[in-house]
Structure 1
Amino acid sequence: MTDISLNNGVTIPQLGFGVFQVPPEDTQRIVEDALEAGYRHIDTAAAYRNEAGVGAALAAAGIPREELFITTKLRNGDQGRAQDAFQDSLKALGLDFLDLYLIHWPVPSQGLFVQAWKEMEHLYAGEQLRAIGVSNFLSDHLDTLLAASDVVPAVNQIELHPSYQQADLSAKSRALGIAVEAYSPLGQGGDLNGNAVTAVAQAHHATTAQVVLAWHLAAGTIVIPKSADSARMRENFAATSLGLSEEELASITALERGARIGSDPAVAAFSQL
């Protein structure tokens, strides 16, 4: 398993496990399966309503805390109370500290993400938070944040998959020292069926998901696939040992077609109640 060094020296496992849309009642079982499969980086969010299940899985697994990397995110409706929301998440997770805390969406219409970041900077100065970052921040959101803050985000977690690569945003983030993390890395399954991915998979006797994950990993992107199936979890985890040629990587990069799946961060304004 490869680790990525963030801009403050903290290391993060490049391949993690996400729990978006995992039902709260299933979260403990699924995360326990992921930990058993070898994942040590777990990504959740207050808005997913499954932090408690993640925490229960961590407690049941008995893995030393220093071997784990746990991320959660500030709910949009809590941007005006980031410090209290952070403590709520810590309590739900049953943890003494968090490895990474992200602003989940900028929600520019609220005008609160800079205030939230200032509160997160205060938390980061303490002992309960190892790194802070953002999610779904576009170029102008980053500009606004950096003009008003002291701490450069460690991570920008964005929708990123072969058919929607956000190449300019990724390049800008990296140029600023911000690691890029991909959610929906397989295009929610939609990027697994193309001829290019299938051909590479056949050539390596690999799954199409392994091929797409290997493409992300080769780019230095942090990636958080999810699956409720333990066998699929193990298959995905094995992508760390799959090496693709420059030609194979280029054939996957060529699948870009601007196919966003999720909401547009420029206008998304849901409260995540």
Structure 2
Amino acid sequence: MAPTLNKQTVTLNDGSKLPVVGYGTYAVTDETNGYDALLEALKKGYRHIDTAFIYNNEEVVGKAVKDSGIPRDEIFIVTKIWNNDHQDPAHALERSLRLMELDYVDLLLIHWPVPQKAEGGETVVDKEWSHVKTWQLLQELPREKVRSIGVSNYDTVLLEELLNAPSTKVLPSVNQVELHPYLPQDKLRDYCQKKKIVLEAYCPLGSGAKLLENPLLKELAEKYEATPAQIALSWGISRGYVVLTKSSTPSRIESNIQTVELSPEDITKITNLSKTHPHRIVVPTWAKGVTFHDDDF
């Protein structure tokens, strides 16, 4: 019953295989500690690394991948284009490849469905552009430089808009969104499963919401001889999510890739936490009114 190393993969709608447990690098910018943490993650079995241009760490990610000694084709690398790069994702991709010193990335995501531009010394929403146009440009990127394409922070309203557009010829393979027991996003989960779009969970441990202090997770951790974090991650995987963990502590890096198989009853108990503790952590002011349409709280 004790947690074991999770080596599962999920097959995307384009045939690529994505490891179910990934290592997220948000706020990992320190060239020493961030680099060491990435090397430790790769050493402990992680084969899915998630970064983004806006994280300002692609150079560190690339160096760690290279220095790990692990063959490039055994590591699934994800990066994202930021809001002010919507009109030229080809340039954004080339910049990321240059920073990471890579020939290709495995997955490129639209980070947010919010095109932005500089105006009067400020960054504002570009109302003359659309995420649908951005997706059209992503579809044209050479597959020798980007194997899969997807989106992030999309709800069902935005996905419907994208999938129904005449210019959309390729389905997003992944939708990376905030997902944890306090925000299970049932409507979005059902929609993405129907459309064969894999949901990828950021903040799967409910960072900032004190999820891991919840009595139920502590109780189940004792039952399964696991940590509350392992219970939360195992719950996400049981619901069909890919989960992105993040830690710079070696012991947590190792434990977060070890999961357990939860009973259907315990999965339901954890999911029901959202009825009493509904909480969304990441709500940028410029995203309000654009996304989060599915939230019922």
TM-score over 0.5 for the alignment? yes
Q: Which residue of 2 aligns with 1:20?
A: 26
What amino acid does structure 2 have at the position aligned with 1:34?
A
Counterpart Cα distance in 1 of 2:249 and 2:282: 23
Deviates more, 1:256-265 or 1:88-97: 256-265
Find the aligned partners of 1:121 and 1:262 in 2 and give their Cα distance: 28
| 1:87-102 matched pairs, under 5 angstroms | 87-102=94-109
1:198 and 2:218 aligned: yes
How many angstroms apart in 2 are the aligned matches of 1:113 and 1:214?
Answer: 33
Q: Which moved more, 1:222-231 or 1:106-115?
A: 106-115
Query: What is residue 197 of structure 2 aligned with on the other side?
Result: 178
Which position in structure 2 is the counterpart of 1:119?
Answer: 137
2:37 touches 2:248 (CA, 8 Å); kept in 1?
yes
Q: Which residue of 1 aligns with 2:164?
A: 147
Output one character per residue of 1:75-107: Cα deviation in whole Å (capped at 9) or x when no partner. 111111111001100111111111000000001
Greater mean deviation of Cα atoms: 225-234 or 24-33? 24-33
State which structure, 1 or 2, has the greater radius of gyration over its C-alpha atoms. 2
Say if 2:29 and 2:60, in contact at 8 Å, map to a contact too: no
Q: Secondary structure at the match of 1:192?
A: helix
Equivalent positions of 1:246-265 (< 5 A) are 246-256=264-274, 257-263=277-283, 265=287
Shift in Å at residue 266 of structure 1? 4.4
Normalising by structure 2, we get a TM-score of 0.86
Judge which range, 107-116 or 85-94, deviates more. Answer: 107-116
User: TM-score, with normalisation over the residues of structure 1?
Assistant: 0.93
Deviation of the 1:37 alpha carbon: 1.1
Mapped pair 1:164 → 2:183: yes
More helix by share: 1
- What amino acid does structure 2 have at the position aligned with 1:214? S
Corresponding position: 1:236 with 2:242:
no
Aligned length: 266
Q: Can you give the 5+ residue segments of structure 2 that lack an aligned partner in the other structure?
A: 1-6, 116-124, 292-297
**Paired amino acid for 2:8:** T
Alpha-carbon distance between aligned partners in 2 of 1:151 and 1:105, rounded to the nearest angstrom:
18
Once the two structures are TM-superposed, the CA of residue 268 in structure 1 deviates from its matched residue by 6.5
Displacement of 1:24 after TM fit? Answer: 3.7
Kindly indicate whether the alpha-carbon contact (under 8 Å) linking 1:138 and 1:266 is maintained by their aligned counterparts in 2: no
